[in-house]
Structure 1
Amino acid sequence: MLRTLRQWLALLVVTSAIVLGGCLPQQDSQSSAASPSPTQTASAPVTPASSLQPSGIPRLEGKATVAIVVKGGTITAELDGTNAPITAGNFVDLVQRGVYNGLVFHRVVREPQPFVVQGGDPQSKNPNFPPEQLGTGSFNDPATGQPRYVPLEIMPVGAKTPVYHQTLDAAGVTAKPKLTHKRGALAMARSQPPDSASSQFYITLANVNFLDGNYAVFGYVTEGMETVDKIQQGDRIESAKVVKGLENLKTDAKKG
């Protein structure tokens, strides 16, 4: 019992690493739709106003495949624009721009048990940037000169549209997400506000389903998990390329 409690407390600490290592917006927390009353439950997913799809952010309409090279090994991942169109679209757009080339995996958590490897802070491209400050950067969109933040986007089982701007609990949704945190999941790191993800992402080293419904999974590693398992803190992404499905990236799509 004591061992189980210690493991739970340790997992709570490393889970906070995803939050604290996420992108920290400079502005106040973005507003979100009001949560349903605590007494509201649903046997099927509810469809709150926050499920409306945001516009002005690249979208992935369908699938795409990316290849990420680390220490000479290739990690191939399939991104799911059907269930995470905004989150996957943002990632594909950043890969296509070359944003991830040369960036560091600044956080690797394997103890007390395998958890995640996390990278994607644009500040890490500078080899002289203090390592202890990594995890606070975001992607600045050259078109606007401002950081680009991505709304939290989670598609519940049985739903036709994702829930935006809220965790599933906050939205009163009892269904599980379609994209879960199984081993090899790609998901977006963020700070405390739900809509604070930008470029930082993580790959799960094990099934960590206690994160389901709170963070946006947008794809899975299909080949190269042995490379992911060898990543150490400080390893750089040599290259990241879209190898399939780039035609599914829509940068001017409007919400329907």
Structure 2
Amino acid sequence: MADLDPENTLVIETTQGKVVIAMRPDLAPGHVAHIKKLAREGFYDGIVFHRVIEGFMAQTGCPRGTGTGGSKYPDLKAEFNAEPHVRGTASMARAQNPNSANSQFFICFDDARFLDRQYTVWGKVVEGMENVDKIKRGEPVMNPDKMLSVKVMADIQG
């Protein structure tokens, strides 16, 4: 953990435990800046994992808990990159339009290379992947797990 940049590390306290994501502004500067802004506003606190598919991914970030909502900010321009969708990858969810990502993101349970270069990868789980593995599955999830708090590591008091 010592080599992590606190300004580009996301600490998510979930109902299953802590998940730490190293953000990659080198890959997706616009997305990382947007996620940090939302985290600092408390936008993500209390949001559920609404779509969780065994062997694929856990999706969250919808304020409605349905996969249909976003933040009050405009959608993001796609920042597709060559980073592979593998176990622990954090990537943005979007609608058909490539430039429709807003606040929803997903964490891959397993390799999902068919998503490569079609979704914006912005980070990777560096701690707590075992907690991601415990998130309740479903589409929609009954009694879903939540992100209790989402903070930028630099903002957490020692």
* TM-score, structure 2 normalization: 0.87
Give yes or no for contact 1:149–1:198 (8 Å, CA) kept in 2.
yes
Note the aligned Cα RMSD (angstroms).
Answer: 1.7
1:92 aligns with 2:36: yes
1:109-128 equivalences under 5 Å are: 109-110=53-54, 114-124=55-65
Deviation of 1:123 after TM superposition, in Å, equals: 1.6
Structure 1's unaligned 5+ residue stretches are: 1-61, 125-133, 142-147, 156-176, 247-256
Q: How many residues were matched structurally? A: 145
Specify whether residues 206 and 63 from structure 1 end up closer, same or farther in structure 2 by C-alpha distance, changes over 3 A only.
farther
Pair 94,69 (structure 1): closer, same or farther in 2 beyond 3 Å: same
Match of 1:65 in 2: 9
**Aligned-partner residue type, residue 149 of structure 1:** D
| Offset of residue 96 of structure 1 | 1.0
Give 3-state SS (helix, strand or coil) of 1:95's partner: helix
Q: Deviations over 1:117-158 (max 9, x none)?
A: 00100123xxxxxxxxx11101113xxxxxx20111123xxx
Give the superposition deviation at 1:244.
3.2
| Residue identity matched to 2:106 | Y
228, 233, 239: which is aligned to 2:149?
Answer: 239
Change (3 A) 1:84 1:245: farther
Residue 8 of structure 2 aligns to a residue whose secondary structure is strand
Aligned with residue 218 of structure 1, among 104, 122, 126: 122
Q: How many Å apart are 1:245 and its aligned residue?
A: 8.5
Give the strand-richer structure, 1 or 2: 2
Distance in 1 of aligned mates of 2:27 and 2:40: 21
Question: Any unmatched runs of 5+ in structure 2?
Answer: 1-5
Matches within 5 A, 1:26-65: 64-65=8-9
Q: Give yes or no for contact 1:63–1:78 (8 Å, CA) kept in 2.
A: no
Encode CA deviations 1:86-120: one digit per residue, 9 max, x unaligned. 1111111111111000001000100xxx0000010
SS in 1 for 2:33: helix
Name the CA distance, whole Å, in 2 between partners of 1:72 and 1:99. Answer: 19
Q: Work out whether 1:103 is the aligned partner of 2:44.
A: no
Which position in structure 2 is the counterpart of 1:229? 133
Using the aligned pairs only, state the percent identity.
38
**Relative to total residues, which structure has the larger helix share, 1 or 2?**
1
Q: Report the CA distance between 1:72 and its aligned residue.
A: 4.9
